[in-house]
Amino acid sequence: MPLLRRSLISLAATTLAALSSPQAFAQETIKIGLVTALSGQSARAGEAITRGMSVAIDEINAKGGLLNGRKLELVRRDDEGNPAKGVVAARELIYKEKVAVLFGGLDTPVSMAIVPIANQEKVPFMGPWAAGTPITKNGASPNFAFRVSAVDEIVNKAMLQYAQKTFQSAKPAMILVDNPWGESNEKGLTAALAAKGMKAAGIEKFDGNAVDVVPQLAKLKAAGADTLFLVGNVGPSAQVVKSLDRMGWKVPVVSHWGPAGGRFTELAGPNAKGVHFVQTYSFFGKQTPVGEKVMAALKAKYPDIKGPDDVTPAVGVANAYDAVQLSALAIAKAGSTQGDAVRQGFYKIERYEGLIKTYNQPFTAEVHDAVSENDYVWAQFIDNRILPVAQ
């Protein structure tokens, strides 16, 4: 055999051995995908999710990564709040990027379009924002959808409790965006009211692109509503507030967390401050050691963050941070990035001292939501800042 040919064969064998060695394998990143709104009215919330995920990924990588030194890598796609675009983005992240965990974003309709694909392809889906009950309670077996966020049916109980306690509400009414998220909340609010022997004074829906909601609100006013339960993201919620202004109707508004997702005060005007909405976390007030650590990391990584005023919406950061940490624990428990092993890894998490709370067995085969009704705080916009409501 000629010397040159022997040398080439020897070189090829050496290269192949190097590529298959544990050291080379350790350099391969573990990709975590994110499909969320990165443009439009809710872009601020998409950026908050990104920042929470990025800080957690930096922390995990600084400790040596996962699975013998493999670093985590965030791969993002913009769904523009559109389910069809979300599906295209999810397919790209699953099939092309081979993500180990796929994070969904803001909008319930987008997440509900993506979850069937995740279940079909056996890729764990993690929700750090969208609250629609059917996202995790989707009927699939096995179910690959998990969540570290609010859940409509639990939030709805909290909304009723808050309206009764804060505003002594006896005749609440619903004003809901006309999409799957609105439907999820209509079911949840109706059930919460029925459990207390109550019925809604009225239920009205509106299109997400509507610029005038006065006709629907006028019906609720005529029905004697003393509080409004509002469900809608930034733009739709702002239109409800502006329509109330045009009517001159000063009625308490108890909202899901949609208004927190972007430029609500800018779009809604001065009466944005009258909307009370649910949150899962606040960086204001005394923080736990984890809260102090995350705030320090945010300040170091993002020059625009000087303090808690600048972490907005806080829920995007907090939910995403804890969700990445729990996903990393699931991968570590699985000992691989294989989808079904990671799914089962979530069930093996025993305890994690997180940002929102200390999680004790956050996931079981029956429960795929890590945040409960005891983990909510109420907030409002004061001077364009999301602050906890003074109790």
According to the model, what pLDDT value does residue 391 have? Answer: 56
User: What value does the mean pLDDT take over residues 235-264?
Assistant: 92
Mean pLDDT over all residues of the chain?
91
Residue 1 has pLDDT above 90, yes or no: no
The rounded distance, in Å, linking the Cα atoms of 93 and 343 is: 18
Per-residue DSSP letter, 371: -
What is the band of 71 on the pLDDT scale with cuts at 50, 70, 90? very high
> Going by DSSP bridges, is the β-strand pair 351-353/358-360 parallel, antiparallel, or unpaired?
antiparallel
Lowest mean pLDDT among 68-72, 182-186, 284-288: 284-288
Distances (CA, A) of 22 to 11, 67, 193, 260, 289: 19, 11, 58, 45, 36
Specify the pTM: 0.83
Domain end, chosen from 234, 251, 279, is at 279
Buried-exposed string 218-250: b where 16+ CB fall within 10 A, e elsewhere: ebbbeeebebbbbbbbbbbbbbbbbbbeeeeee
pLDDT at 41 over 60: yes
Which stretches within the chain are classed as H helix?
A: 3-19, 22-26, 43-62, 83-91, 108-121, 152-167, 180-195, 214-222, 234-247, 264-268, 289-301, 314-334, 339-347
**Per-residue confidence (pLDDT) for residue 23, from 0 to 100:** 46
pLDDT at site 17 = 47
Q: State whether 146 and 161 are in the same domain.
A: no
Mean pLDDT of 208-215: 92
The total domain count for the chain is: 2
One-letter identity of residue 385:
R
Average pLDDT over residues 24-36: 83
For residue 38, what pLDDT band results from cuts at 50, 70 and 90?
very high
Burial degree of 192 (CB within 10 A; 0-12, 13-18, 19+): buried
Cα gap 352→350, rounded to integer Å:
7
Least confident of 21-25, 149-153, 312-316: 21-25
Predicted confidence at residue 373, as pLDDT, reads: 80
Residue 231 β-bridge partners: 176
User: Has residue 374 got a pLDDT over 50?
Assistant: yes
Mean pLDDT for 288-294 is 97
For position 263, which CATH number holds?
Answer: 3.40.50.2300
Which residues lie across from 172 on neighbouring strands?
Answer: 227
Q: Give strand pairing partners of 276.
A: 254
Tens-place pLDDT, residues 148-181: 999 999 999 999 999 999 999 999 999 999 999 9
Q: Is residue 144 part of a domain?
A: yes
Token pair recorded at residue 209? 């692109």
139: left (phi over 0), alpha (psi -120 to 50) or beta: left
Residue 146: give the domain boundaries: 25-150+285-372
Judged against a pLDDT cut of 90, whether residue 143 lies above it is answered with yes
pLDDT digits (tens, 9 = 90+) for 332-344: 999 999 999 999 9
| pLDDT score, position 263 | 80
Confidence (pLDDT) at 260 = 82
Whether residue 105 is predicted with pLDDT greater than 90 in this model: the reply is no
- Nearest-angstrom CA–CA distance, 349 and 366: 14
Same domain, 291 and 266: no
215 and 166: one domain? yes
Does residue 204 form part of some domain? Answer: yes
Question: Do 297 and 359 fall into the same domain?
Answer: yes
Query: Does position 55 have pLDDT exceeding 50, yes or no?
Result: yes
* Domain edge (last residue) among 219, 254, 279: 279
In this structure, are 186 and 170 located in the same domain?
Answer: yes
Coil, helix or strand for 127? Answer: strand
Q: To 10 degrees, what angle do helices 180-195 and 152-167 make?
A: 50
For residue 1, is it within any domain?
no
Distances (CA, A) of 90 to 96, 231, 381: 10, 26, 33
Does the pLDDT at position 267 exceed 80?
yes
* Domain final position from 279, 299, 326: 279
> Do both 189 and 269 map to the same domain?
yes
- For residues 126 and 171, state if they share a domain: no
User: In terms of domains, do 261 and 190 share one?
Assistant: yes
In whole angstroms, give the CA distance from residue 150 to residue 132. 9
Report how many helices (DSSP H) and strands (DSSP E) the chain contains, helices first.
13, 14
Task: Read off the amino acid at residue 314.
Answer: A
Helix axes 289-301, 43-62, angle to 10 degrees: 110
